[in-house]
Structure 1
């Protein structure tokens, strides 16, 4: 058993008190023998590195909403029958619960079980204790538990803005002067310079990627559509208070950059704006090189700008029209250069352009994909087909009612499978070990979030909460993979970066959290 120093980030391992000093005469010498024999090595150097020890009671280190379901995972060679939830302030028990659903994992040679404490609704700071297993990390029960993470996740994109100065008033320690404001050069023709200021940095090198940016903006817009009330106009960015939800302001900042990355002549979208570190200096001052037009970036651009124009009409009709024209131009460029019949990206873009315009040309592309014999398989395996299908279900244009019924069956079947997988999991999640890291898990939660919006299901909300608990510490490593402010976080393992530091994952996390606000 080990003890946890609650409120700290390190664990107190049990002390190993080993007596290294014998009698002055040395081992085997009598007390009357005054001869001292010196070792050839007068001093020995030892370098002990204590192994990382993690609790056997796994819990969301951030905590729980007062009215939500609350659960912890217990693991060990022997599982007790009860546990207590103790107050941090005075170590007194606030709740006693029963441990349920014990299962044995042959792979790890340990038993696992669950303990629910949903009835504990008093706000405060706690830890869980159980015989044989010791203590959990600390956590809170508070109304702001989810909203705090949500606000931090959303603000990350403001901190990642390129091309403008970020004031300390809005950005705190992340504030900096304007970066990468000089004209960029084309990678395949260095004599051509273009203005590509703006957009979001995607990594520590301050690179900006049009594919990734388009998909992030797409997820933001879809999250806004599904859970509009979660997004306010008061998150503390420069546009706050302008009467437009801040999430749309943030997307507009990226969209304005995406438009700059469109080739005026062809309508194609350049792939990325990469910083060049070859001459040294600080990353904030690196020159920028623009990669060639990419057809994948072009069709993603068309899809995202069509979606943005649809939602932004009520706030700025002129700019929304500019976006729709840019989307149509990109679509035409793609049509000239690619075969759309087998590209799921074309299906997704067509659904969004059809929603925005009602044009029969886009509807024909949509119907072409619906006629495919493997469409149901594509719905489950390809995220672009999935998003396109959700868009079709949401359109106010004329639709094929029978096809909508088929799409709803696909959506419910996929969500049901995610729910079944989560129910069977030790950690109550749909995907424990994936080569894609957290991406599949986050995609699954996006699917449940969408289904939960169309047909509210408390079970789905609980599953989404359990996935958040997993990411925040209820996992095999007892690791908070989201924030860096709890007892054990991703920063304790140098080879792991937090979800908030990966813009693509962060956007999907925001989608997931918007259901719980």
Structure 2
């Protein structure tokens, strides 16, 4: 492994400004007989509880498994630890590998010893578990190529499962198939005499609510992962549009973009903030929430980014998205000068529109914002997206601004990697313990920088976080759907990363790098 030290970071930052990132088919719907029209949805802001029982044995592993030629490490914890451990084939009980524990140290807080067991030399495909004297057995795991590609596809497919306004057939949705929901018109919250067609898009909670800002943030994250690791995204994840020659991620985002376009007021360019479902006398009442500046600028950012990237597949639709984003921007020029809450979204929208259109008015806003609000270490997701777009645009830029952004990103990546490498599970930090959202956000930063400098240490840190999410953590819980004997679903449904609307988009981001590293 090689560490990217601060001297090298500064040297690389000077060159970073040259870093450039290089339609839907008809949907056939069918009635789903004898199926309750129940929404099974992600949660926008889940209530998480991490008070769970400890695993039966203190041997912590990735409960999905490991790539044949990949690094394979288990974590051992206990009052006393043995010198050796064995890897045993589950179907035959045969011991296929014996390894020695590498002492990590003593944890005063937990009053236990910690060690690592490396079994990377075992490369034969199969289903295994680890056994060690004084401790017992681990959960089972596989050794096989293609493991991470499967969960990557499932993460991408979560948004299809949450489509509103269309029938999800068993062919594509399996156990969550259901008839079309919320296909009627909604009424304006401010004036119930006005009705609008706001069907479509993605559900964001169990009621079927849809919020523009939440949608835009997730779209921005997924589209950046597509820009960086486009070869990881296929046209065959298993949605109705699969096989149409367009990456399925873009097909899925187009389904949401269709809904976003319905949320714009054609007379002003302002964008309604969302759709809420209220129960009234036992009947769902669908209401459109009032327009606001934050939603309008989030809309502009998402559609400008999507329109720019979608041009090679459908120029007319891409132009429609870009025109809608610019219309929203014009509304901002007239109405949002004093709305501070919308400013960071306006910056991100300006960065996207400048890249797509090249107009100096957008460039002036971007550089003016960065002069006032430096892209510092604690920058949020929205400003991060705008900064990355600016340094990756082919339009003329201020090189000193790009260098400052690059320096900031690299310094933050180095800090994330250093802190993660110092933890027992080689993931996260003490402050981010039990905060998967924060860990995923860190991986978004690290993955972005790793794309630029191809640092092998960063690759390792990113993959160690995947091991963490798949069960190699202090609770021995797999937070990924349908993976592991110690799965979150046996404890609390809301703990699953794929069930969290924004967290899942960051999981896709992280997996796009891992899949690209292993399979492309």
TM over 0.5: yes
1:173 paired residue among 172, 175, 182? 175
C-alpha distance 309-376 of structure 1, shift in aligned 2 (>3 A): closer
Structure 2 equivalent of residue 213 of structure 1: 215
Q: Does 1:357 align with 2:373?
A: no
TM-score (normalizing by structure 2): 0.85
Task: Quickly say closer, same or farther: Cα 1:402–1:230, change in 2 above 3 A.
Answer: same
* Structure 2 CA distance for partners of 1:376 and 1:151, relative to 1, 3 Å: closer
CA change 1:271–1:121 in 2 (3 A) is same
SS at match of 1:126: strand
Q: 2-side partners of 1:144 and 1:250: how far apart?
A: 23
Deviation at 1:509, TM superposition (A): 0.4
| Alpha-carbon offset, residue 255 of structure 1 | 0.5
Deviating runs (4+, > 4 A) in structure 1? Answer: 50-53
Root mean square deviation, CA, Å: 1.8
Q: How does 1:170-319 map to 2 (within 5 A)?
A: 170-280=172-282, 286-319=284-317
Aligned residue in 1 for 2:366: 366
Please, which moves more after superposition, 163-172 or 243-252? 163-172
Matches of 2:429 and 2:292, distance apart in 1:
32
Distance 1:174 1:495 in 2: 15
Equivalent pair of 2:375/2:383 in contact (CA under 8 Å): no
What is the CA distance between 1:402 and its match in structure 2? 2.5
**d(CA) in 2 for partners of 1:245 and 1:509?**
18
Which residue number in structure 2 is paired with residue 512 of structure 1?
510
Question: Which residue of structure 2 aligns with residue 502 of structure 1?
Answer: 500
Cα offset, 1:267, TM superposition:
1.2
Question: Which stretch has the larger CA shift, 266-275 or 427-436?
Answer: 427-436
Shift of 1:403: 2.2
Aligned mates of 2:504, 2:233 — CA distance in 1: 15
Contact 2:213/2:299 (<8 A) preserved:
yes
Q: 1:434 to 1:322 in 2, by over 3 A?
A: same
Could you say which residue in structure 2 is the equivalent of 1:35? none
Counterpart residue number, 1:334: 332
Whether 1:448 aligns to 2:446 is yes
| Residue-pair matches, total | 462
* Residue pair 2:82, 2:134 contacting (<8 A) in 1 also: yes
- Cα offset for 1:52? 5.9
Distance in 1 (CA, whole Å) between partners of 2:218 and 2:390 is 20
Gaps of 5+ in 2: 1-51, 516-520
- Closer, same or farther: CA 376–178 of 1 in aligned 2, 3 Å: closer
**Distance in 2 of aligned mates of 1:462 and 1:99:** 20
Equivalent residues of 2:217, 2:382 under 8 A apart: no
Q: In the alignment, is the contact (CA less than 8 A) between 2:419 and 2:428 conserved in 1?
A: yes
Q: TM-score, normalised by structure 1?
A: 0.86
Distance 1:448 1:110 in 2: 31
Verify the 8 A CA contact 2:272 2:296 in the aligned structure 1.
yes
Q: CA deviation at 1:145?
A: 1.0
Q: 1:143 and 2:149 equivalent?
A: no
Deviation at 1:212, TM superposition (A): 0.9
CA contact (8 A) 2:470 2:483 kept: no
Rg larger for: 1
Query: Residue 481 of structure 2 is aligned with which of 480, 483, 490?
Result: 483
Of 54, 58, 78, which residue of structure 2 is paired with 1:56? Answer: 58
Any idea what SS the aligned residue of 1:399 has?
A: coil
Q: What is the DSSP-based 3-state SS (H/G/I as helix, E as strand, rest coil) of the residue aligned with 2:280?
A: coil
Deviations 1:170-209 (A, max 9, x none): 1112111111000001111111100001000111111111
User: Does the C-alpha gap of structure 1 residues 503 and 375 become closer, same or farther in structure 2, counting only changes over 3 Å?
Assistant: same
| 1:101 Cα offset (Å) | 4.1
Alignment of 1:34-183 (within 5 A): 53-183=55-185
The question of whether the paired residues in 2 share the 8 Å contact of 1:484 and 1:490 is answered with: no
Highest RCO, 1 vs 2 (Cα 8 Å, sep ≥ 6): 2
Instruction: Specify the alignment match of 1:410 in structure 2.
Output: 408
Question: Closer, same or farther in 2 for the Cα pair 1:422/1:101, shift >3 Å?
Answer: farther
Q: Secondary structure of 1:191's partner?
A: coil
For structure 1, the 5+ residue unaligned runs are 1-49
What secondary structure, in the 3-state scheme, does the structure 1 residue paired with 2:193 have?
strand
What does the per-residue CA deviation read over 1:20-65, in whole Å, with 9 as the maximum and x for residues that have no partner? xxxxxxxxxxxxxxxxxxxxxxxxxxxxxx9764320011111111
Partner SS state of residue 236, structure 2: coil
The answer to whether the 8 A contact 1:268-1:295 is kept is yes
